Structure 1
Amino acid sequence: MTDQRVRATYRIETAFALADAAASMAGEQSTGTFVRVPGETDEMREAHAARVESLTDLGPVERPSLPGSGLPAGGGERRAAQVTLSWPVSNFGPSLPNLLATVAGNLSELKAFSGLKLVDLQLPPVFLERYQGPQFGVDGTRRLAGVYDRPMIGTIIKPSVGMSPAVTAELVERLLSSGVDFIKDDELQADGPHCPFNERVSAVMRVIREHADKTGKKVMYAANITGDIDEMLARHQHVLDEGGTCIMVSMNSVGLPAMKALRAESQLPIHGHRNGWGMLGRSPALGMSFIAYQKLWRLAGIDHTHVNGIDNKFCEDNDSVVASARECLAPMFEPPHPGCEIMPVFSSGQSARQVAATYQALGSTDLIYAAGGGIVAHPGGPAAGVTALQQAWAAAVDSVPVEEAAREHPELAAALGAFKK
């Protein structure tokens, strides 16, 4: 373990000399403090101090991005830089909570910085000795859903809250008849008194089983089991007992240790919902990138996660969305270690309009394409909405312009007419 190192890359902004600022980051998060202390020997620093692996000057900054930053004596020019630090794993062991305390702990509060954001992580495979990573990933998800060689077309139960278990099941029954592959609870729907979890899952799975008996296709339903650890384990068992093939968890709500505990017991794919992500990722000067974030959760055991969508309704730009999706499909470790790839979920205002750009940018059909209004608001109804998305994806893969494909497919033509975005 002692020869394995974690590497973390940051974008920083500071008025102090860049080399001094980078050294202060390394010291703060390993052996150092603001003064040399008794017991801090040269041998200790050699074995345990963080190292500055690289430092790239990105140029001057007009004004501080964050309040409260300081200036060196006599003032200084504020500059941005990219810096990579490394630590020996022996400092904290292969522990995700303690890794997080090291790479994203007090750094953001240091007065020397008016911006400090974690943008990437490189982890050694020793973490695989403690963490199982995804159990199903892309291939296992496809196997359970029975969907190959194209994206899985998904949708979300809406309204998010307010429906009873019986009404929820009626809605799901209508969605099943559309030919959809994947249905998920909204993250706001958990175990409220108006729609208790066990009753809802039993009602929904009854119609899913009946549909499977008739058609041979068992649609994947991601039931939101988010809660305390004991609640999640009990809810997972209920989904399993009812014949379900997926569970959903709000990652930021439960935390890494709870996800690890769930993964150790789970017999189903874990659909990791990233709600609350904007608090970590939206600022260019604070928090962490999704590239770094999703690696932690992949190790903890999720099988899918949301990456937003092309031309989405939120603030994330398309380049960020695509980079996030690519990263989910990229191996985390070199062979022979597991790659821990997971299924990216495109969502947020998606319709047939964004399909071609999504495929052109990602170059893969290994994804869940989740559309709410893009399916249920189709002029021809949900079945036509699902068909239109399948037609759009087939055209994109075959390099056929979507307008040309629409001349042969009325469902697709209607979708393009309805969804102008």
Structure 2
Amino acid sequence: MERVTADYLLETPFPPEDVAAMMAGEQSSGTFVRVAGETDELRARSAAQVLSVEDMGEIPAPSLASAYIDRKGAPGPVRRARVRIAFPVGNIGRNLPTLAATVSGNLYDLGEVTGLKLMSLTLPPAYRARYPLPAQGITGTRESLGTEGRPIFGTIIKPNVGLRPVEIAALVADLCAAGVDFIKDDEVCANPDIAPLNERVPLVMDAIKRAEDTSGRRVMMAFNITDETDAMRRHADLVAENGGTCVMASLNWCGLSGMETLRAHTPLAIHGHRNGFGAMNRHPVLGMAFPAYQALYRLAGVDHMHVHGIGGKFVDSADDVTEAARACLAPLAEGADDRVLPAFSSGQWAGTLGSALEAAGGADLMFMCGGGILAHPHGPAAGVASLHEAYDALSAGEDLSAARASRPALAAALDTFGQR
């Protein structure tokens, strides 16, 4: 029997083995009592199975409140455990929202639970094959840009929102001239009144095409088309009609179904922005860890996934970012050619490139710098040059401080951003 396996971090004052059995029953064929029609044959076919429960020991107090426990009383000390449960694929079918509902759903609301986090998912190859692969992924993105053997260097439109279409197009022209590979809208700039997509896309793509005529290089622009589903399809068509190669969407607010529909509609690269993910992840025993989260959205067919950055403005530790990048670069199932490009951002500059390369375990990454390019003291072109100089030095095994003597753009970046 094909099964999707889910790994959880569980916290409860009840015996963890009993709660794990409740979890399996709640999310498959069972409920709190046996019901009519729940035959032994049905249970054998459709019941989820607890594969393992690993006790992690007691903690002093529960992490979350439970009115159920207040009514019933806590039968024992609060314990944490690693739980692994297998869910029959036949219960789910090729249905991404139902997969998410199965491995998460009501589990977070069980009265016996004072903490629960979905950590990871393991998919059988045949089940993974029922969902779309990335339309572009790492290989297609590199082919579109003509970048091989090095990171893809990108930046973000700043100010985040408020620029008019002609101003955005002028900034894009400057960034193309500076030598960036990739430009993206900010997550809060999608289809604003001041710069609607139907005005912005033609002007920006005209700037990109004119830059290509001069340099011979095509820059990839990720237009933020976050919207309701039908509007996203129209926006994607607008980008394609104007020669664009990439669209961006805020994954959490468009949802799994919206992203699936967008993927089915367009061959453009989809740049997946995870804004809002912290609400799912920041609590240590509540929500969803990135390995599970990225698996669901990769099944929806995205090509790039944000992983934040090391030493940036967000809460992620170096281990968090490394785990996220490595998850994107690993196949979802054995034999699947479905890696996606991890997109590093958040306070990145030439001096943080080494940590990103280490986190990704190589050069298959998108390295996006806002201030690291736009605020370079010698201008955006020098900001881009500082990234190339940093990569060349790191590839040669040089320390960046020692490499500065022969690399002026890198030296200026180290002087400007090195004390931050």
Query: TM-score by structure 1 length?
Result: 0.96
Quick one: which amino acid aligns to residue 97 of structure 1? P
Identical-residue share of aligned pairs (%)? 49
Q: Quick check: 1:27–1:50 contact (8 Å CA) kept in 2?
A: yes
Query: Are residues 1:399 and 2:397 paired?
Result: yes
Q: Which of 38-47 and 243-252 deviates more?
A: 38-47
Runs of 4+ in 1 over 4 A off after TM superposition: 71-74
2:187: which partner in 1?
187
Query: Are residues 1:5 and 2:9 paired?
Result: no
Q: Distance in 1 between matches of 2:88 and 2:292?
A: 18
Q: Quick check: 1:359–1:396 contact (8 Å CA) kept in 2?
A: no
Deviation at 1:125, TM superposition (A): 2.8
Deviation at 1:79, TM superposition (A): 0.7
1:125: which partner in 2?
125
Deviation at 1:30, TM superposition (A): 1.2
Q: Which of 200-209 and 388-397 deviates more?
A: 388-397
Quick one: which amino acid aligns to residue 356 of structure 2? T
2:99: which partner in 1?
99
State which of 340, 348, 351 in structure 2 corresponds to 1:350.
348
Deviation at 1:130, TM superposition (A): 3.7
Q: Quick check: 2:13–2:74 contact (8 Å CA) kept in 1?
A: no
Q: Distance in 2 between matches of 1:122 and 1:378?
A: 43
1:209: which partner in 2?
209
1:61: which partner in 2?
59
Deviation at 1:74, TM superposition (A): 6.7
Q: Distance in 1 between matches of 2:27 and 2:292?
A: 18
Deviation at 1:220, TM superposition (A): 0.5
Deviation at 1:51, TM superposition (A): 0.6
Question: Aligned to 1:149, what secondary structure does the other structure show?
Answer: coil
Structure-to-structure mapping, 1:173-252, within 5 angstroms: 173-252=173-252
Could you give the per-residue CA deviations for residues 355-404 of structure 1, whole angstroms, max 9, x where no partner exists? 12222333210011001011111111111111101111222222211111
2:282: which partner in 1?
282
Could you give the per-residue CA deviations for residues 294-326 of structure 1, whole angstroms, max 9, x where no partner exists? 111111110001000011211111101011101
Deviation at 1:256, TM superposition (A): 1.1
Q: Quick check: 1:330–1:339 contact (8 Å CA) kept in 2?
A: no
Structure 1 residues 384 and 32, CA gap change in structure 2 (3 angstroms):
same
Question: Aligned to 1:113, what secondary structure does the other structure show?
Answer: coil
Q: Distance in 2 between matches of 1:279 and 1:325?
A: 19
Could you give the per-residue CA deviations for residues 228-269 of structure 1, whole angstroms, max 9, x where no partner exists? 222111111111111111111111111111211111121211
Quick one: which amino acid aligns to residue 228 of structure 2? D
Q: Distance in 1 between matches of 2:153 and 2:79?
A: 45
Q: Quick check: 2:14–2:74 contact (8 Å CA) kept in 1?
A: no
Structure-to-structure mapping, 1:236-385, within 5 angstroms: 236-335=236-335, 338-385=336-383
Q: Quick check: 2:325–2:359 contact (8 Å CA) kept in 1?
A: no
Question: Aligned to 1:384, what secondary structure does the other structure show?
Answer: helix
Question: Aligned to 1:348, what secondary structure does the other structure show?
Answer: coil
2:80: which partner in 1?
80
Q: Which runs of 5+ in 1 are unaligned?
A: none
Aligned residues: 417
Q: Which runs of 5+ in 2 are unaligned?
A: none
2:18: which partner in 1?
20
Q: Quick check: 2:245–2:268 contact (8 Å CA) kept in 1?
A: yes
Deviation at 1:108, TM superposition (A): 0.5
Quick one: which amino acid aligns to residue 6 of structure 2? A
Deviation at 1:129, TM superposition (A): 4.9
Q: Distance in 1 between matches of 2:363 and 2:375?
A: 24
2:145: which partner in 1?
145
Query: Are residues 1:386 and 2:384 paired?
Result: yes
Quick one: which amino acid aligns to residue 18 of structure 2? D
Structure-to-structure mapping, 1:103-114, within 5 angstroms: 103-114=103-114
Q: Distance in 1 between matches of 2:313 and 2:2?
A: 42
Q: Distance in 2 between matches of 1:100 and 1:245?
A: 29
Structure 1 residues 129 and 325, CA gap change in structure 2 (3 angstroms):
closer
Query: Are residues 1:32 and 2:44 paired?
Result: no
Q: Quick check: 1:356–1:402 contact (8 Å CA) kept in 2?
A: no
Q: Distance in 2 between matches of 1:102 and 1:193?
A: 39
Q: Distance in 2 between matches of 1:174 and 1:352?
A: 20
Q: Which of 113-122 and 264-273 deviates more?
A: 264-273
Question: Aligned to 2:178, what secondary structure does the other structure show?
Answer: coil
Deviation at 1:342, TM superposition (A): 0.3
Quick one: which amino acid aligns to residue 183 of structure 1? I
